[in-house]
A = this chain, B = another copy of it.
């Protein structure tokens, strides 16, 4: 990870690669890298699909190491969905293979001169560009299959589906999983469209000939630290038991019980069909059919929350959908057909669509009366419309806020143009603070207050009370930014919040890997620094505290069963970044 690969798509005869020293970007990884590059090199007032925007890939600092659950990758740019800075995070093979190939960052920049599509093949010895117009309007699964036919099963593939090619605000960048499936996505913020705007359809990361594991500078210390870290994860009830057994969809019953499962476009906090779409039901069905609820999205993960879903004949359909995907197509749309929700997950992975944003937009379409509540076949038809770019598909593909705008709907559950995921902010107020204030637009992972508000990790709070939520969100946002820089999966945070020794072990792994002497305070400072940079970018792009708010209707309309409104004060919201 000693190099930056800079790809200029604006050269005369197609893209040109330059390999640079790290220079000012030395010591950065993941979100710290993507945010710093975007802040340094992208004018905040540019159009996200214009030539001035850049697309930055960066593995976390620990990617490719032997540390548990450390293989995440960050994708950064100015977001077409929100207009803010964006870091979108994914599992899969991308982070580890980039790290093995020695790249701390890949920066795609410039203005494409033609409509040609290109693929980039990166090996340990070379960076090659080939036109690939034969893949035009390929979706991710057939695209990956075609690439695997040519380049084999060993490389990792980074691709965009039809949505990214059509420059949709709701499009993802796909990273293949360890078995070569098109299942892992940098989902949020429309990063796929930025890749599409640069004319790049696929990146082949071929790690052949590189060491399988990056060596730490201090091997003994690393071994001890990473063992302690792994043990910490394994012994925690969420990281060691809940996630491996059920995946993230374990949250359906938990949020339903808490009255925070947004149902029918956030009109109520409980869904009568919850038991039909919950993880317990999904796992039971999958076990019977020969699916696998315990699967890692990247090699070396020990939380293994990703899972594999098969149909009645045992044929692969999709990865086990995340809780947020089950929610967005399920409770949010009044749907309780689990198999068809899994099919939606597959279709959206295939077209390259954010499953949260897509489902959220579909719920708004139902609110508008253009689709009936619970009409899962209508939903599936709509997903195909998006993937094919019909006019209705263009609306939905532009995201939830645009769908609401086109249909004259006030009740769009969005902040800064991005849809809120699966937690009603009135019933999980800490999460509401994160939605309102994060630099990313409504995003659950940016400061996952569900952990403290609902799961009781790192202390207990009343999720219905406004009190103290700003502080909870602030601390989580700082910690998250730092974790997103390391390459560790954010789900390690459940253990980190509860077990100081696991937190220390995490810091020790980084110190041993790089022969550093960072303290916990240093890690906190890293998180703060990332957030400060992101805030400055957004401010220059025109975002103010007026944008750090939930839509007004959350303050006006209470949500059953607790009949609570949004009542966190503006002063509290404005205090989140007071560091």
Contact = CB atoms under 8 A, between A and B. Distances in A.
Interface of A: 43-47, 49-52, 80, 166-169, 193, 196-197, 390-392, 394-395, 397-398, 402, 405-410, 540-544, 546-547, 549, 551-553, 556
A3 to B, nearest CB: 31
5 contacts: A47-B551, A80-B408, A166-B408, A402-B405, A540-B546
Given A542-B544, A546-B45, A553-B50, A397 B406 contact: yes
A457 B310 CA distance: 75
Contacts of A540: 546
A4 to B, nearest CB: 25
Give the one of A47, A394, A541 with max B CB within 10 A.
A394
Contacts of A409: 49
A47 B552 contact: yes
Given A47-B410, A49-B410, A391-B395, 19 more contacts: A45-B546, A49-B409, A52-B552, A80-B408, A166-B408, A169-B405, A193-B408, A196-B408, A390-B391, A391-B392, A391-B394, A394-B395, A394-B406, A398-B405, A398-B406, A402-B406, A542-B542, A542-B546, A542-B547
A168 B395 contact: no
A539 to B, nearest CB: 8
Copies in the complex: 2
Nearest to A53: B410
B553 A546 contact: no
A47 to B, nearest CB: 4
Contacts of A395: 391, 394-395, 406
A208 B534 CA distance: 62
Nearest to A165: B408
Contact of A402 (B402, B549, B553): B402
Contacts of A392: 391
Given A391-B395, A394-B395, A45 B407 contact: no
A552 B410 CA distance: 30
B546 A410 contact: no
A409 B166 CA distance: 10
A542 to B, nearest CB: 3
B406 A197 contact: no
Contacts of A553: 47, 50
Nearest to A166: B408
Contacts of A544: 542, 544
A237 B308 CA distance: 78
B547 A410 contact: no
Contacts of A52: 552
A546 B541 contact: yes
A46 B405 contact: no
A570 B335 CA distance: 51
A409 B193 CA distance: 11
Contacts of A549: 45
A50 B555 CA distance: 13
A45 B552 contact: yes
A186 to B, nearest CB: 18
Given A45-B546, A546-B541, A168 B408 contact: yes
Q: Which of A168, A542, A547 has the most CB of B within 10 A?
A: A542
Contacts of A47: 410, 551-553
Contacts of A408: 49, 80, 166-168, 193, 196-197
Contacts of A44: 546
A39 to B, nearest CB: 15
A537 to B, nearest CB: 11
A80 to B, nearest CB: 8
A417 B49 CA distance: 17
